[in-house]
């Protein structure tokens, strides 16, 4: 497949038998370490191979900028210029896995039809083979990764290997050859002198592992960038005590050629290399890649449930565990915040309320902040002989303290169905992940608390229910903006004043606590001005004066209606608010774009003229705020026309269902850049 479309790397993933997880089966053209964070990928993960399986289609990413925009978690770990295509391995009835292939940055930003056909045909062939293997109950056997082999023999007109080595030895600058894993397969004498090690110690070693002052992920990152982009890359490094060396890498699909020479002194590099002989060991870039990828995932979680779900989707597949439990504490007792992978959910919930003093690893880890790793059941029972039934199905565990702001806030329990020895570096990575989870959990709990506060405030400011009025049916919906505190300044009200009721809808600028507070004042003021008998235009003038007196520098739009259902009419006054829609009894829809005044809170001399609207029995009025129809890239006239068409088609729907329909079919309401309020009124004639 790679040869046919001139791609330079790729991998095949297969679905795990009993989990919604893609597991890398084989990789070609690049070391598997390049894709280490995605060796196991949850089907819900926002990465191209998972999306290809979910949507059963080819996913194309044309370059570095598109990757950053669509798949930021991948771009954080691999911020290099390359193109990628991911395709599902699936028949009409069954999905088996996925394939991805990559090209250097020189590939055009659009996948050609010919390449698309070649890739699709190859995946179809492989899918049919997997289908036959499944039908015949033949297991898919493991196979080694496929790295490009160096060309065998010489090329016409090119000196043989001995003469080539002699030529390289004569050069005044260093030359080295690296394979795809970064191991040195050749180095001339000048390279050895510049690096400060004999050739015998360099051969077969990775450049940044064998040379102490190159033991920095930044330098390994340049090697990865060269291989993935297939572009010449370079970097400058300090050889202690004060010699700067220039490294220039020339890649192809078999490895890299590196030219090493002296560079001019660089006064400020921005990072210091570890001193030689200190024995300092820098974490490998693969480990950092895992942490970057998972940290990027956790930053997207805005609630405790989302944190638990993201850990389930992202971390559990990455570390190879089969079950997860996240515990918090309250009043000296454990609280189960979320779990997955346990057969007996009731046994997990039974842990809820366990005292932190109980002789259990989850409680002890939360109390002490010290992680605990048990590679077998015997190790667990040696320290905790009276185990809880929740551990029965598993044979190894990692209990990770979740520490935020210097204090334990919970425990993350990773469970494995088979014995699992935890190496020192794996323990370090898991403990680091515990810190990331803790920070995400702390943010999520604060968000949940703010959300509850905002939701309670919003509910207190809006009507709990709409009054039942003779001759009139009503229904309302409110949706806060998805940006900000989930609270806003949109409001509606239906006031049962006598002899005729009034309806109002408005929008105070902003969607935050200030807007919500001002909205409450405006709504109360309108009710008060209505109760003392002011006419619609006077209510608008008085409310305008109130906003100016408050001097809050916020504006408000408003639509005020005095309804006379028995008389078949309504009197409307409008202050900069979107025009309502009227559906007549015969089904025709009209936009009531009648005269009005400016926004409230701008002009102390503003007037707000009134207009009479026919409201025959069976008529439906749709009052709304601009969040229902305004969306980036959508013309407001087209949005109003679409709203009118939906209203016209929904002839006999009850008002609550009609409200759900209008909100649910609105592009703007789905994106929710702004709050959305809708108030529907139907003259019943009763």
Lowest mean pLDDT among 10-14, 240-244, 576-580: 240-244
Q: Show Cβ contacts of residue 110 under 8 Å, excluding neighbours closer than 6 positions.
A: 62
Distance (Å, whole) CA 556 – CA 141: 67
Higher pLDDT, 156 or 407: 407
- In angstroms, how far is the first alpha carbon of the chain from the final one? 72
Distance (Å, whole) CA 543 – CA 522: 7
Distance (Å, whole) CA 209 – CA 286: 14
Query: Which of 138-142, 220-224, 279-283 reaches the highest mean pLDDT?
Result: 138-142
Lowest mean pLDDT among 177-181, 445-449, 483-487: 483-487
Task: Using the predicted structure, report yes or no on whether residue 392 has a pLDDT greater than 90.
Answer: no
Distance (Å, whole) CA 319 – CA 37: 9
Task: Using the predicted structure, report yes or no on whether residue 54 has a pLDDT greater than 90.
Answer: yes
- Cβ atoms 89, 23 nearer than 8 A: no
The residue with tokens 């020189």 is: 106
Q: Indicate the SS3 state at residue 438.
A: helix
Supply the pLDDT for residue 28: 92
Alpha carbon 419 to its chain centroid, in Å, reads 33
Q: Indicate the SS3 state at residue 183.
A: strand
pLDDT in tens, 601-620: 889 999 999 999 888 888 99
Helix locations, 532-684, DSSP H = 536-550, 636-649, 655-664, 667-671
Cis peptide before 534 (omega within 30 of 0): no
Task: Using the predicted structure, report yes or no on whether residue 55 has a pLDDT greater than 90.
Answer: yes
238 φ, ψ (degrees, to nearest 5): -95, 120
User: What is the arithmetic mean of pLDDT over 113-141?
Assistant: 94
Could you tell me which residues are beta bridge partners of residue 408? 403
Q: Measured between alpha carbons, how far is residue 531 from residues 488, 519, 600 in Å?
A: 26, 18, 20
Distance (Å, whole) CA 19 – CA 317: 9
User: What is the arithmetic mean of pLDDT over 268-274?
Assistant: 39
Could you tell me which residues are beta bridge partners of residue 581? 591, 622
Supply the pLDDT for residue 450: 67
Distance (Å, whole) CA 548 – CA 542: 10
The residue with tokens 């590679």 is: 375
Model confidence at 453, in pLDDT bands (50, 70, 90)? low
pTM (two decimals): 0.50
Which among 8, 16, 22, 17 is positioned nearest to 50, based on CA atoms? 22
Helix locations, 230-301, DSSP H = 285-298
Distance (Å, whole) CA 634 – CA 308: 36
Distance (Å, whole) CA 298 – CA 308: 10
Distance (Å, whole) CA 362 – CA 384: 11
Task: Using the predicted structure, report yes or no on whether residue 80 has a pLDDT greater than 80.
Answer: yes
Written as six digits, the tokens of 58 are: 């080819």
CA angle 484, 488, 490 (to 5 degrees): 150
pLDDT in tens, 645-660: 888 888 778 899 998 9
Three-state DSSP string of 44-79: CCCCHHHHHHHHCCCEEECCHHHHHHHCHHHHHHCC
Model confidence at 157, in pLDDT bands (50, 70, 90)? very low
CA angle 502, 504, 508 (to 5 degrees): 155
Task: Using the predicted structure, report yes or no on whether residue 72 has a pLDDT greater than 90.
Answer: no
Task: Using the predicted structure, report yes or no on whether residue 194 has a pLDDT greater than 70.
Answer: yes
Model confidence at 266, in pLDDT bands (50, 70, 90)? very low
Higher pLDDT, 277 or 232: 232
- Cβ atoms 41, 13 nearer than 8 A: yes
Query: Which of 326-335, 371-380, 485-494 reaches the highest mean pLDDT?
Result: 371-380
Three-state DSSP string of 216-228: CHHHHHHHHHHHH
Supply the pLDDT for residue 439: 80
Supply the pLDDT for residue 238: 86
pLDDT in tens, 397-425: 999 988 877 777 889 999 999 999 888 76
Lowest mean pLDDT among 63-72, 315-324, 439-448, 532-541: 439-448
Q: Indicate the SS3 state at residue 602.
A: coil
Task: Using the predicted structure, report yes or no on whether residue 483 has a pLDDT greater than 60.
Answer: no
* Mean pLDDT for all residues in the chain: 83
The number of beta carbons lying within 10 Å of the beta carbon of residue 323 is 22
Model confidence at 277, in pLDDT bands (50, 70, 90)? very low
Higher pLDDT, 489 or 203: 203
Burial of 377 (0-12, 13-18, 19+ CB in 10 A): middle
Structural domains of the chain in order of their starting residue, each with its CATH number: 2-136 (3.30.450.40), 161-262 (3.30.450.20), 294-453 (3.30.450.40), 463-683 (3.60.40.10)
Q: In the chain, count of helices (H) and strands (E)?
A: 22, 26
**Beta strands at 243-252 and 255-262: parallel, antiparallel or unpaired:** antiparallel
Supply the pLDDT for residue 449: 67
Q: Measured between alpha carbons, how far is residue 505 from residues 220, 490, 619, 648 in Å?
A: 60, 8, 19, 22
Which among 547, 478, 463, 464 is positioned nearest to 509, based on CA atoms? 547
- Cβ atoms 554, 510 nearer than 8 A: yes
Written as six digits, the tokens of 220 are: 């390994």
- Cβ atoms 356, 367 nearer than 8 A: yes
DSSP 35: G
Q: What share of the chain is helix, strand, coil (3-state, %, to 5)?
A: 35, 25, 35
Q: Indicate the SS3 state at residue 60.
A: strand
């Amino acid at each position: 497949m790679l040869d046919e479309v001139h791609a330079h790397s790729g991998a095949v993933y297969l679905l795990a038998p009993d989990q919604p997880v893609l597991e890398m089966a084989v990789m070609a053209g690049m070391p598997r370490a390049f894709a280490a964070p995605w060796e196991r990928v949850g089907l819900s993960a926002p990465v191209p191979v998972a999306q290809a399986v979910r949507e059963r289609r080819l996913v194309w990413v044309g370059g570095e900028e598109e990757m950053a925009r669509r798949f930021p978690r991948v771009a954080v770990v691999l911020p290099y210029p390359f193109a990628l295509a991911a395709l599902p391995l699936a028949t009409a009835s069954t999905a088996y896995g996925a394939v991805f292939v990559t090209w250097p940055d020189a590939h055009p930003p659009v996948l050609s039809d010919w390449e698309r056909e070649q890739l699709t045909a190859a995946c179809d062939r492989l899918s049919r083979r997997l289908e036959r293997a499944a039908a015949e109950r033949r297991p898919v056997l493991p196979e080694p990764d496929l790295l490009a082999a160096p060309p065998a023999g010489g090329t016409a007109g090119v000196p043989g290997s001995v003469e080539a080595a002699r030529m390289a030895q004569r050069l005044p600058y260093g030359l080295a050859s690296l394979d795809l894993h970064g191991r040195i397969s050749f180095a001339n004498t000048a390279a050895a002198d510049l690096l400060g090690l004999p050739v015998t110690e360099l051969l077969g070693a990775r450049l940044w592992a064998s040379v102490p002052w190159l033991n920095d992920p930044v330098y390994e990152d340049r090697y990865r960038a060269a291989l993935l982009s297939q572009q010449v890359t370079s970097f400058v490094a300090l050889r202690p005590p004060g010699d700067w060396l220039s490294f220039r890498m020339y890649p192809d699909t078999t490895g890299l050629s590196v030219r090493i020479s002296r560079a001019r002194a660089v006064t400020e590099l921005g990072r210091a290399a570890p001193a030689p002989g200190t024995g300092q060991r820098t974490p490998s870039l693969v480990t950092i890649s895992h942490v970057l990828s998972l940290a990027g995932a956790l930053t997207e979680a805005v609630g405790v449930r989302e944190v638990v779900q993201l850990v389930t989707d992202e971390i559990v597949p990455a570390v190879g565990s089969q079950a997860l439990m996240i515990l918090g504490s309250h009043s000296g007792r454990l609280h189960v915040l979320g779990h997955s992978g346990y057969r007996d959910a009731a046994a997990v919930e039974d842990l809820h309320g366990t005292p932190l003093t109980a002789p259990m690893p989850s409680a002890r880890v939360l109390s002490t902040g010290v992680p605990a790793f048990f590679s077998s059941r015997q190790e667990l029972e040696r320290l905790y002989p009276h185990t809880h039934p929740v551990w029965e199905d598993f044979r190894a565990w990692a209990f990770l303290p979740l520490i935020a702001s210097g204090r334990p806030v919970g425990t993350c329990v990773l469970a494995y169905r088979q014995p699992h020895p935890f190496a020192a570096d794996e323990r370090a990575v898991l403990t680091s992940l515990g810190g990331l989870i803790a920070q995400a959990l702390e943010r999520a709990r604060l968000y949940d608390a703010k959300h509850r506060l905002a939701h309670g405030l919003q509910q207190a400011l809006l009507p709990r229910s709409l009054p039942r009025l003779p001759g009139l049916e009503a229904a309302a919906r409110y949706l806060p903006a998805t940006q900000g505190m989930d609270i806003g300044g949109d409001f509606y009200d239906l006031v049962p004043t006598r002899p005729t009721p009034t309806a109002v809808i408005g929008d105070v600028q902003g969607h935050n606590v200030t807007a919500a507070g001002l909205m409450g004042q405006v709504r109360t003021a309108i009710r008060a001005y209505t109760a003392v008998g002011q006419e619609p235009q006077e209510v608008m003038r008085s409310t305008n004066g109130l906003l100016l007196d408050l001097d809050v520098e916020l504006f408000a739009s408003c639509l005020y209606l005095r309804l006379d259902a028995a008389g078949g009419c309504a009197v409307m006054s409008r202050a900069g608010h979107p025009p309502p829609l009227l559906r007549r009894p015969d089904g025709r829809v009209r936009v009531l774009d009648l005269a009005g005044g400016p926004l409230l809170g701008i002009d102390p001399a503003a007037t707000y003229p009134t207009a009479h609207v026919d409201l025959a029995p069976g008529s439906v009025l749709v009052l709304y705020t601009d969040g229902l129809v305004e969306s980036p890239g959508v013309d407001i006239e087209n949005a109003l026309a679409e709203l009118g068409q939906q209203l016209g088609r929904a002839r006999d729907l009850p008002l609550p269902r009609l409200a759900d329909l209008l909100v649910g079919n609105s592009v703007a309401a789905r994106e929710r850049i702004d709050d959305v309020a809708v108030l529907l009124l139907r003259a019943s004639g009763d």
